[in-house]
Amino acid sequence: MAKRFFLKIPNIIDMFNCRAKVPFGEKFYDFMDNKITALLKQEADITPTPQINVIWSWSKNFYEPGEISRINLDLHLQSHSIGHPISFCWRSKSGEPISISDEDFDEDNLEYWLEGVDAEKFHEELAQAKKAAPFRIGRLPFELEIRDYEYSMHVYVTLSDKEIFEEVSTHLDKTLSDFNKLAYAREFGEKKGKPLQGLHNWKITETEDGRMQLYLDAASPEVLKKILKELTKFKPVTKVEMDLVS
């Protein structure tokens, strides 16, 4: 089980730095993670798991420095859910602003809290998630095996004709790019429609046994159904498997 919301992995930290436009100091990064983890447990009995995670907000500025500073986040309670906006806020008792880059600060000098926590709403969603399957889809012209479903997924595609590997790969890459553009357009009101969870990242490679492998970060049911629909356009697709990222 995950023990922290903010992983100390270089590319993850780089993405946070990019969104904040200011580099995180290691001390503040750990402080933020420890306090958010403790506050969510205390106020909503929410702990980090492969399904429950926190990412930067897509609809607000991620980092808002000031007398009261904020890190704006989205709390995802399911692998495929639209995030709940929450904010980690802090201010110094002495009145001296504390930046996320600061390495030399006194934690006892900081007041901190979370905004946007709705424990009842969060647990209603979690209760519904236990009842719901990831998604439903009609009959497909190929075998489909869903071994497990999480926030980060691998999708494996078996082709009877390896010569169309690049064609299928290019088509899926454009499909995912278009899906993300639509998700963001709906989020920011540029297009009407049900909100969609955009992918944070994806990568298409070939496995040692010749299957196509799609790595999907933030794999919603909608994007998985879209992938399956697009794969029906290629007769050489004989099998699709979905599994956790190992």
pLDDT value, residue 124: 85
Angle (CA) 112-116-118 rounded to 5° is 115
Q: Are 216 and 242 in contact (CB under 8 A)?
A: no
pLDDT value, residue 1: 44
Please give the CATH number for the structural domain made up of 133-244: 3.30.70.600
The Cα 193–Cα 175 span in angstroms is: 18
Q: Which residue type, as a one-letter code, is found at position 181?
A: K
pLDDT, block means (10 residues), the chain with 246 residues: 75 88 94 95 88 81 94 82 88 92 92 95 77 67 82 91 96 96 88 87 94 91 92 96 80
| Two structure tokens written together for 40 | 């969510």
Helix (H), strand (E) at residue 224: helix 221-231
Burial class (CB in 10 A: 0-12, 13-18, 19+), 111: exposed
Domain layout of the chain by residue ranges? 10-130, 133-244
Angle at which helices 119-131 and 26-44 pack, to 10 degrees? 80
pLDDT value, residue 197: 84
The Cα 178–Cα 184 span in angstroms is: 10
| Two structure tokens written together for 190 | 């540029």
What predicted TM-score, i.e. pTM, was given to this entire model? 0.57
3-state secondary structure 170-205: HHHHHHHHHHHHHHHHHHCCCCCCCCCCCCCEEEEE
Residues in the chain: 246
Lookup result for tokens 């607000």:
60
- Which region holds residue 178: left if phi is over 0, alpha if psi is between -120 and 50, else beta? alpha
